[in-house]
Structure 1
Amino acid sequence: MSEDRYYAPPVFKRRRLDGSGRSTPRAEHASTPGPDVPQPTDEDTKALDRDWYAGDEFGGHVFGDDMHNPFGHDYSAWEKEHQEAVKAEKMSSRYDARREQRNRDNDAWETNRMLVSGVAQRRDMAADFDDDEATRVHLLVHELRPPFLDGRTIFTKQLEPVPAVRDYQSDMAVFSRKGSKVVKEARQQRERQRQAQEATSMKGTALGNLMGVKEEEGDSAMAIAGEEDAVRKPDGETSNKFSDHMKKKAEGGSDFSRTKTLQEQRQYLPAFAVREDLMRVIRENQVIVVVGETGSGKTTQLTQFLYEEGYGDSGMIGCTQPRRVAAMSVAKRVAEEMDVKLGSTVGYAIRFEDCTSKETVIKYMTDGVLLRESLNEPDLDKYSCIIMDEAHERALNTDILMGLFKKILQRRRDLKLIVTSATMNSKKFSEFYGGAPDFTIPGRTFPVDTMFHRSPVEDYVDQAVQQVLSIHVSMDQGDILVFMTGQEDIEVTCELVQKRLDALNDPPKLSILPIYSQMPADLQAKIFDRAAPGVRKCIVATNIAETSLTVDGIKYVVDAGYSKMKVYNPKMGMDTLQITPISQANASQRSGRAGRTGPGKAFRLFTEKAFKEELYLQTIPEIQRTNLSNTVLMLKSLGVKDLLDFDFMDPPPQDTITTSMFDLWALGALNNLGELTKLGAKMSAFPMDPSLSKLLITAEEYGCSEEMITIVSMLSVPNVFYRPKERQDEADTQREKFWVHESDHLTYLQVYSAWKSNGMSDGWCIKHFLHPKSLRRAKEIRDQLLDIMKMQKMQMLSCGMDWDVIRKCICSGYYHQAAKYKGSGEYINLRTNLGVQLHPTSALYAGHPPDYIVYHELILTSKVYVSTVTAVDPHWLADLGGVFYSVKEKGYSMRDKRITETEFNRKMEIETQMADDRRRQQEQMAAEQERDSRKKTLSGPVKKVVTQGAVKKPVIKRKGRNF
């Protein structure tokens, strides 16, 4: 038997129907035995760890990541291919129209001859020419909204949306939308080189096989980013936990860290010098705001100070971080400084990973983990102190926790809250908590000369390269830090600096070092190494270098003035990564990087006028620019009935709130009055997107829990498919083996099942261009979701090979994200009329497009793509999403549609009236109970018993006696 054992019917083949009733064949799985592939090396794990731990707390695939996107940086080729396919389809449709016209003319002539000759009568012929369109199903879309979203209810104090840019017509905003010209040219050049290489390559061709040109078998195993260094246990079991990879202590990257012990390094930190004053302020206040520059030691030392003062005796000392990687790396550092094992006295917790024990006293965690803990423990009783670290970043969960702590601190006077921030926003935190004192950890800062550009800069990458070369050639010694927007900008900047430097005659030596979140940790550490004598360092970084890390020796800062920001569009229902101008606070923070070890200079590639008129004072908080469905569900689960009463530091926009509540209502998490339903309460128990939570819950009803938990787990990890640039065709061939042409969700199920049936082999994964680490991560998530489902007393059922049941279950969670095929490769969202196209990674991309689909997410590049798609029957949409859709029957008119909508609105009015009556009755009963209790309090223990016709005497009721 072949080593490839796929999860597919062993004997029979089935043909499934898409929305129009047409059959679509399932891909057959060719399994050919191949040579054993060696296990991956120990260096292959870091990139995938980076993807997982740097990702969004409630997300799955890393947002904006192109490294593990099989078609990352390759959209232009696919868009060109798509345009050619559309053109060919239009040409073929033109030919089809001519052919159909000829057929109709011939049919009409034959019909006329038969009628004239008397061979057939007209009523007989009508039965032979049924319209094919009658077999197609059409859906009507209803614009139904619940009463609490009728536009009269206000949910937030921020009525207007917050634009991502201060002035969309400003120079910086226009230039950010255009992008860098040199980056576009570099992208086009790479594409031309790739096409030329494919055209001249003989690998895999008939001529190449004839001449004995062999494929480089070892390349894929070595090139797969993030494949494997999971620690092997004695029984052969593998572990993916980050703590296992951090057992080995990291060597210092600088001379200081190499020559000093950990305790000596602690004593050099600015926080250590003010320890006594800081602890005195903490003892005297319940809430304190600690202000300190990056590198002051506030993150690693505060928890240890509290532990040494005995605060850990009455409860745990918690410290929240906005990012997963920070929670783990800081926990590792503190464990090393305290000389304890990670997971014992010091531990960490992130989504789907808990490295703590009963011994844990100091706990680092993401803010999302603490937020979920508050669901089961509203007062957070097991904590004595909580540190909200990096609060100035204004992450979504951090802002929600800020509002919750206002209530918790009133109920728990023994709880200490410490909010740490960089210099920006510290006053706002203090005012939010009623004038809480702030304590500043003095930093080592020096004066910085800030220089603005004289005229607007159209191409910020090209200008940054020129500025770097000017500094390097004409200015004194000192390292350079350049701020760019993302990985592609950074790579092009580094290439251009090196290219133009090589063109000079005997230039000074320059070491060019890129750094961004997608780089392996060992490569990131190189920026901390001291350069060789006579060599200047040039570090090109994203905004990760603003506050998250500190590099000594920086004397010059080149600030492009832009960054990538995640922005939610409530009308489109999608998050997008946009290049936007930074805020004035960000610009000041970037300039300050030049004054850490001595006087420095900051070169801003924008004008002083732009700084004052085109930049916001502060960065827009995430809560005002992101999807809030999960947040609203969480707040409802925490008992927040009216969002207007919740104390937001910066309230979210009304449009975002209403869109999120509408989506939750459509999923059944909220009832027609905006109250949490039983389904919504169950959904809040799962740490993931509400749509995925509903899939797991409804899967029990459909009898496919085993399959659905696998699909959801696969959607919660970085992309499992690997597509190396030099072997794209081979990778595509292997991927097609797993395709289920009706569904990408079922394709993921197919991949996981095949991996499991092949012994979870890493060699098998590499041979089929799959990331073994992603698959193992999916297994870990699956096991933890299984535990949650058991706690919820949900049954684990399997539907076997009845995959139509799974598709219908998928439809139950995604019917609010449905689209209909328009033609020429384009779909139209049924609710928003947004034009979308299938993503090139979809299994449905190459086949015949089904009439109706549901999708997991939208991806915006130059076009709007739908990703992770499943073909569905339109009757399923009408049955499961009745609030949106109904099947258009014969003779159905717009008048009938209006009647349906009127009946729905009348029903909603009745429900609202009944709810108001119940609310008034409850208020009356509460008022009566309050009056009765007040009377009892005033009357005291003596009660007067009045008997008709008798003298009124006070009678004292005694306990234990009957009268």
Structure 2
Amino acid sequence: MELSSSAEERELSSQFVEGSDDVFGFGDDLELNQFDGLPYSSRYYKLLRERKSLPVWGSRGEFIKALESSQLIVVSGTTKTGKTTQIPQWCAEFCLSAQYQHGVVVCSQIQKQQAVDLALRVADEMDVNIGHEVGYCIPLENCCSSDTVLRYCTDDVLLREMMSDPLLEHYGVVVIDQAHERTVSTDLLLGLLREVLIQRPELRVVVLSVPPASDTLVAHYGGVPHLHVEAPSSSEMVYSSGGRTESFYAALRLVLEVHRAKEPGDLAVFLASEQVRIYMTSSVQMGLDYSNLGDLMPVALCPGHAGICPPITEGQNKSRRVFLSCSQSEDMFWSVGTVNFVIDTGVEKRYVYNPRIRANSEVIRPISRCRAEIRKQLSGSTGKCFCLYPEEAELPAEIPARILEANITSTVLFLKRMEVAGLGHCDFISRPDPEGLMQALEELDYLAALDDDGNLSEIGIIMSEFPLDPQMAKALLASCEFDCVNEVLTIAAMLAAPSCFVDPPFGLETEAMQCHMKLYHPEGDHFTLINIYNCYMTVMAVLWASDFTQEKWCQDYFLCSAALQTADAIRSELTDILKRLELPLSEPAFGTKNNTLNIKRALLAGYFMQIARDVDGSGNYFMLSNKHVAQIHPLSAYGAKAHKLGLPEWVLFHEYTLSDNNCVRMVTQISPEVFVQMAPQYFFYNLPSSESKELLQHIMDNEGSGSTKRRQKNQPVVTETPKESEESQSYDRCVIQ
């Protein structure tokens, strides 16, 4: 590092530590970095000036005093106040002090790209190397070492860490950032840490939120210290006098009008959903082509996308960026200082789970006041914020808790696992709906994850080891018995990764469909995923050294290279878990009749609750568990090839969504004979009465007449029909249940 000896830098260093020697107990050598023992570089002092100008810096002394005296602190402030970068650093200084040496600091984020970006920024500010004193840990990537004193990670990673370390004994301070977003993982962390604090009096928990959500947290925790960071003055506000029905077109017109006015600065546009963002990207480009307004670069900035695009270079001075974003991405603007205009449509799409019918509903609703206030701050005091809703519009105060709207089966499985680990109480800020809780317990019971006393069974404990939904985890375990682990691993990884299909540019929809049809598998969508992954890996092996690259191949087939790479990494992680648990693997056998049957058996072991039948031969699928009727999604292999292959009568589906056109997604053909063999008998008898159930009962009665064994609860006997006996080996019983 570069050693600075200027008087100005020495003065800044002295100001930085003035009055803090007694608090932290550092030595007299003010020129050495307390984290690595090396002299500070000149860049450190330059960044220190910027840090001291942040609104949060004025609360530094008050925060340190609260950290000394209280186990739990709530800090509220909107984006760009500096709380996410500065407070974890102060916690790290606190943990290294002579008076307090009980562990290191972890700071949770809800987006993995933001965790990486923040770790890089904070490492720069602390004048240390990323991966050493400051690191990050996100799904499939760990950039930490034994020297790490400050670790950024996603909330789900920290939550899974509690499975092996329930009291988080490695940490001295836990910082929960973005608590206002109320993700399931963040709410679970906040609930479980309440009990951890009782068992670990030396632990400190700092919760970062925004008003008014912070008031709810303070009330829940019972009068804990609450530090409020004043935000900088907001921008000029312009409200719409109309409704939100035409918000998309109003936002598009505003983008072009602002660009036509040639005022400096980038734009940030907040839209309802990712799908609308895709439409807006194409529409902006088309509008520019027709109007000849010059360079305007649409930039995706939504959860799941790689971070902020690089800054505009000297050769791009005339370009203006328009960041097209949606909910849960406001905090990603902390590193963008060029936004001068914000366009807020005021609506968002949320998926609300209905436990009665085991389906997600698409709901378009107004954003919360909490989110609206964050967006108003993004353009600073010199910019403008266009709100495409009336000023008097009634917005809900806070962002709804996801635990009230999501399928909580995975959550209940995790909490059951935490009971095994000795942490049996979760102090929910918002308690889950009783109906959703009962449905989750029922589903885990069907999957044999619970014993007769309602505790985790041995199979349930094994299922909780996998970062998968319980149904997929059960299917993966069943594949060990049916000798098709290799293929089900691929299915699990492809479903856990982002979709590998790319939305084609405007005008290329037909070409994209034709390319995808080349990869479709006649047995169904789960098999198509295996086909795509195998083709991808084969192409990579054969063409790695040629002019063709993986990106080029993926572009030719309208596939996402990053999604396939993620699926490959997830598959490796799942394989490592299987090896750690000493579960059997299998050799690839994809394409054989025996393997095809076994894959369907394994899938049915987990997804027997999601079966549908074409009741009229025209694609109207009746779902046995809820008696609803839906169509196969048009992008399914059956949707695309129905005119050639014909529609299957019985299907297993992965997802059912209630929307304008109800659809089942990720569909695979099954036989009713295999279904009655794999489904637990007590689940079958709980199905509502229907013609389809009568057909299945007839099949079951015929099978039962030739068998002296009665299936017990969660122990389906796997027998073979004459047709299947020619295609498969003999499997008498599904041992993995």
Considering the TM-score relative to the shorter chain, is it more than 0.5? yes
Provide the C-alpha distance between the structure 2 equivalents of 1:700 and 1:657, rounded to a whole number of angstroms: 30
* Partner AA of 1:865 in structure 2: C
State the Cα distance separating 1:350 from its structure 2 match.
1.9
Task: State the match for 2:149 in structure 1.
Answer: 361
> Take 2:423 and 2:661, find their aligned partners in 1: how far apart are those partners?
35
2: CA distance, partners of 1:730 / 1:501: 24
Residue 512 of structure 1 deviates from its aligned partner by 7.4
In structure 2, what is the equivalent of residue 787 of structure 1? 576
**Does the Cα contact within 8 Å between 1:553 and 1:597 map onto a contact in 2?**
no
Alignment of 1:298-337 (within 5 A): 298-311=83-96, 313-337=101-125
Structure 1: distance between partners of 2:274 and 2:439: 32
Residue of structure 2 equivalent to 1:411: 199
> Given the superposition, is the C-alpha separation of residues 610 and 285 from structure 1 closer, same or farther in structure 2, using an over 3 Å criterion?
same
Aligned to 2:602: 809
* Aligned pair partner of 1:390 in 170, 178, 182: 178
Aligned mates of 2:82, 2:218 — CA distance in 1 = 21
CA distance in 2, matches of 1:413, 1:522: 38
The 1-side partners of 2:574 and 2:426 are apart by 30
Structure 1 residues 353, 499: closer, same or farther in 2, change over 3 A? closer
Which of residues 369, 383, 391 in structure 2 aligns to 1:584? 369
Partner of 1:837: 631
- Secondary structure of residue in 2 paired with 1:638: helix
Q: Which residue of 2 aligns with 1:569?
A: 354
Change (3 A) 1:545 1:634: closer
1:885 corresponds to? 684
Shift in alpha-carbon separation, 1:290–1:821, aligned structure 2, 3 A: same
Match of 2:648 in 1: 850
Aligned partner of 2:729 in structure 1 is: none
Q: Following the alignment from structure 2 to structure 1, what is the Cα–Cα distance between the partners of residues 307 and 368?
A: 31
Preserved CA contact (<8 Å) 2:108 2:152: yes
1:344 to 2:128 alignment: no
The answer on whether the counterparts of 2:408 and 2:440 sit within 8 Å (CA) in structure 1 is yes
1:36 aligns to what? none
Cα contact 1:349–1:366 (8 A) shared by 2: yes
Q: 1:796 aligns with which of 572, 578, 585?
A: 585
Q: 2:447 aligns with which of 661, 664, 667?
A: 667
Q: In 2, distance between residues paired with 1:472 and 1:722?
A: 29
Query: Helix, strand or coil: the match of 2:153?
Result: strand
Cα 1:526–1:837 shift into 2, 3 Å: farther
Distance 2:249 2:305 in 1: 27
State the shift of 1:400 in Å. 0.8
Could you say what secondary structure the match of 2:419 adopts?
Answer: coil
Distance of 1:684 and 1:589 partners within structure 2:
36
Task: Give the superposition deviation at 1:799.
Answer: 7.6
C-alpha displacement of 1:854: 0.8
SS of the equivalent of 1:363 reads strand
In the superposition, relative to structure 1, how do residues 342 and 518 fare at CA in structure 2: closer, same or farther (>3 Å)? same
Picking from 410, 415, 432, the partner of 1:652 is 432
Shift of 1:514: 5.3
SS of the aligned residue for 1:418 comes to strand
Task: Report the count of equivalent residues.
Answer: 634
User: For the residues of structure 1 that align with 2:198 and 2:160, how far apart are their CA atoms?
Assistant: 20
The one-letter amino acid paired with 2:369 is Q
CA contact (8 A) 2:490 2:571 kept: yes
Match among 606, 619, 638 for residue 825 of structure 1: 619
Q: 2:683 corresponds to which letter in structure 1?
A: F
> How far apart, in 1, do the equivalents of 2:288 and 2:576 lie?
58
Task: Look up the equivalent residue of 2:496 and give its one-letter code.
Answer: S
Aligned counterparts of 1:491 and 1:544: Cα–Cα separation in 2: 17
CA deviation string 1:22-81 (max 9, x = no partner):
xxxxxxxxxxxxxxxxxxxxxxxxxxxxxxxxxxxxxxxxxxxxxxxxxxxxxxxxxxxx
Note the alpha carbon deviations across 1:181-226, whole angstroms, 9 max, x for none: xxxxxxxxxxxxxxxxxxxxxxxxxxxxxxxxxxxxxxxxxxxxxx
Aligned to 1:869: 667
Q: Which residue of 2 aligns with 1:945?
A: none
| Structure 2 residue aligned with 1:275 | 60
Q: Which residue matches 2:381?
A: 597
Contact 1:554–1:597 under 8 Å retained in 2: no
The verdict on how the C-alpha distance between 1:539 and 1:351 changes in structure 2, with shifts beyond 3 A counting, is: closer
- CA gap 1:393/1:525 in 2 versus in 1, 3 angstroms: farther
Aligned to 1:460: 247
Q: Does 1:752 align with 2:533?
A: yes
The residue correspondences of 1:61-100 to structure 2 (distance < 5 A) are: none
Displacement after TM superposition at 1:735 (Å): 4.2
State the shift of 1:813 in Å.
1.2
Bigger mean CA deviation after superposition, 547-556 or 563-572:
547-556
The answer to whether the Cα contact below 8 Å between 2:611 and 2:652 also exists between their aligned partners in 1 is yes
Which AA in structure 1 matches 2:619?
G
| 1:438-470 CA-partner distances (Å, limit 9, x unpaired) | 122343225x66565445454223444566788
Distance 2:604 2:574 in 1: 21
Whole-angstrom distance in 2 between the partners of 1:305 and 1:381: 20
Specify the SS of the correspondent of 2:436: helix
TM-score normalised by the chain length of structure 2: 0.75
Native 8 Å contact 1:723 1:732 kept in 2: no
Is the 8 Å Cα contact of residues 557 and 593 (structure 1) preserved in structure 2? yes
Deviations 1:806-858 (A, max 9, x none): 22111111111111122212211111122122233333342222221112223
Preserved contact between residue 155 and residue 186 of structure 2 (Cα < 8 Å): yes
- State the partner residue of 1:686: 466
1:602 Cα deviation from its structure 2 partner = 4.9
> Residue 853 of structure 1: SS of its match in structure 2?
strand
Q: Which moved more, 1:320-329 or 1:857-866?
A: 857-866
**TM-score using structure 1 length:** 0.59
> Which residue of 2 is the match for residue 134 of structure 1?
none
Q: Offset at 1:351?
A: 2.3
For 1:777, what is the secondary structure of its paired residue?
helix
SS of 2:638's partner is coil
Does the Cα contact within 8 Å between 2:44 and 2:124 map onto a contact in 1?
A: no
Deviation string 1:644-691 (CA, Å, 9 cap, x unpaired) is 974210112223222222222222223455332221111111111111
Tell me the secondary structure at the aligned position of residue 637 of structure 2. coil
Letter of the 1:666 partner, please give it: Y
Q: Is the 8 A contact 2:524 2:669 kept in 1?
A: yes
Aligned match for 1:743, one of 524, 533, 539: 524
> Residues 200-599 of structure 1 correspond to what in structure 2 (within 5 A)?
261-311=46-96, 313-446=101-234, 452-456=239-243, 458-464=245-251, 482-486=269-273, 489=276, 515-517=300-302, 524-525=309-310, 541-543=325-327, 546-550=330-334, 552=337, 557-593=342-378, 596-598=380-382
Report how far residue 795 of structure 1 moved. 1.7
Residues 450 and 457 in structure 2, CA contact (< 8 A), matched pair in contact too: yes
Partner of 1:50: none
Letter in 2 for 1:460: S
Alpha-carbon deviation of 1:484? 2.8
CA separation of 1:746/1:569 partners in 2, compared to 1, >3 Å: closer, same or farther? same
Residue 265 of structure 1: how far off its partner (Å): 3.1
1:633 positional shift: 0.7
> In structure 2, do the counterparts of structure 1 residues 863 and 642 end up closer, same or farther at CA, with 3 Å as the change threshold?
farther
Q: Which has the higher contact order (CA 8 A, sep 6+)?
A: 1
Q: Residue deviations 1:546-604, cap 9 Å, x none?
A: 4432555766654332122232232342334432111233333333445x334x66554
> What's 1:180 paired with?
none
Any stretches of 5+ residues in structure 2 without a counterpart?
1-42, 686-692, 703-709, 715-737
